[in-house]
Structure 1
Amino acid sequence: MTHELADQDVVVHALPRIPAFLIDAVVVALLALPLLWLTILNTQSLRQALGADATLALLLLPSLLLLMLPALMDSLSSGSIGKRMMQLRVVDARGRRPNLLRSLSRHAVKLLVHGLLPGIWLLAERLLLRGLNVHDWLCGTRVVASGASAAQLARVLPASFAPTLLGQALRAVFAIGAALLLFLVGSAWLAVILVEPNPTRKALAPLVEQARGISRASENQFYKTGRFTDNLSELGLAEQTAFSTVKFNAQNGSFILRLNSEFSELHGRSLLLYPELKRGDRAEVRRWRCGSPDITAEHLPFGCRDSVAGYE
């Protein structure tokens, strides 16, 4: 005979949830650490191949996904590994698994609030929110015993979700705070995108655009004559003062430009562009590859970080 849980044991509060959280933390660490270690060991080669920004993204994005793994499992399965072991699960107000957005939001709030605020907050939120943690209260979720029946959930959850005046006020404060936080994060992100943080890359960007102008002219010449040029005058372009020399390879269409820049870190360095051809009845230029044999990837614009080995 199956023993039915008492109603007061259906919604689970702090103590039984701590071991579940610690188990999930260990699982995430065991999965993340080898990946981080492998990436760190290959940081130098990745920076050369992808650039500093892409390498940082490669380092952080998988870690972020693993960090959110418990939330994914709460939404897409019967619960995270820690909750399953402790016989717990997360439900919404209807007693169902939370949808993915709700589950991810819940997990993010939990990590941010409990990670940034002092431990006294754990006591404060329980006193203010009738024993609930802020992430469950804010995201409309509850942690319940996995053995609770559907009938028990239908009977117990409505009282647990009943709003209070204090709860409504705090929810409004959190909503305003979340909107402000999103605005600040969005503004900071736009600032990172719009304001060039690398002065060498900023100085190099217009030179790359001029080089692409030469590549477009070379491509037009190729379509008109069926061959690539071996000199700049044939393209009908004026002398390129930004480059001390422009050297063409008529065999493969590549050309290398020696920079004539007032920027000391760029003067005398080179850019190299070459066409990637699409073979068929008539050869066509699929796209132009751009890179440098002597400028590191972190200083090159994002669209000019291709390997130029074999074309130098």
Structure 2
Amino acid sequence: MTQKPTLLVLAAGMGSRYGGDKQIDGFGPNGETILEYSIYDAIKAGFGKVVFIVRQEILEEAKEIFLPKLEGKIEVDWVVQTLNSFVPEELKQKDRKKPFGTAHAVLCAKDAINEPFAVINADDFYGKEAFDVLGKFLATDVKPDLHAMVGYAVQNVLSDNGTVSRGVCETNEKGQLIGMVERTSIAREGDKIISRGEGEVFEIPEDTPVSMNFWGFHQCVFGEIERMWAEFLPANLDNLKSEFYIPTVANNLIKEGKAAYEILPGGKTWFGVTYSDDKPIVIAALQKLHDEGEYPAQLW
């Protein structure tokens, strides 16, 4: 029997640009969080467990919101990410304020996951098709040396209310990921999409696939992440703002010849909340999906 994949939810981010804990803010017609739609779609796509990565200060509130809705529908587990998780005593940064990033968050879930798993952001809406295609990949195609990400065309993942950062993908002739560059300060300028980060003006073609942090992994990746984390910590001991990202892990595994990454074509619908002005747009988009019958009047 095929093991059901797990959904790993990154919900420990600070939400600083948004101005609040957007992971537990209500956007749906009945006050649903964006994350509830992802979990709903994941259950429909055959996922068997959801693991939440949270900060200690939002743990109880998150449990109050999600547990009553998910009871009996999917197995639920909780992992707390702290600044000292998986950090040896001699490598602790006593003045650090900022979390260590997405790959560190994934590593924190190492002891909670023993099966193929997907990783998502708590505050992004990914769409039913994305869960269907990644759920199928994790149930049938994933291997220790073959992982995946769901690709989204850059033209579909911009904000009308400010610039965004995106992981811009480079692909080979098979459409597999061969590298990813984090581009910042991306926005539409006239009929072009331009990144102005790092003092460089860079045009990105409209249909270029980008990562919205929707990944699919074989569980063996935890060993590789732990290996890279052990190298990252001493190398960044004096940098209190250093972050350890999932794309860094992916790029390293590709360069080392240890893994390939399929870019799956399920990324048709995406919206997210980077700025507080994005909220009414997301509320309207979710209402439209309910009105069109994509989701029932009551999710749960």
The one of the two structures with greater contact order (alpha-carbon pairs below 8 A, sep at least 6) is 2
* TM-score after normalising by structure 1: 0.22
Higher helix share: 1
Higher strand share: 2
Which is greater in Rg? 1
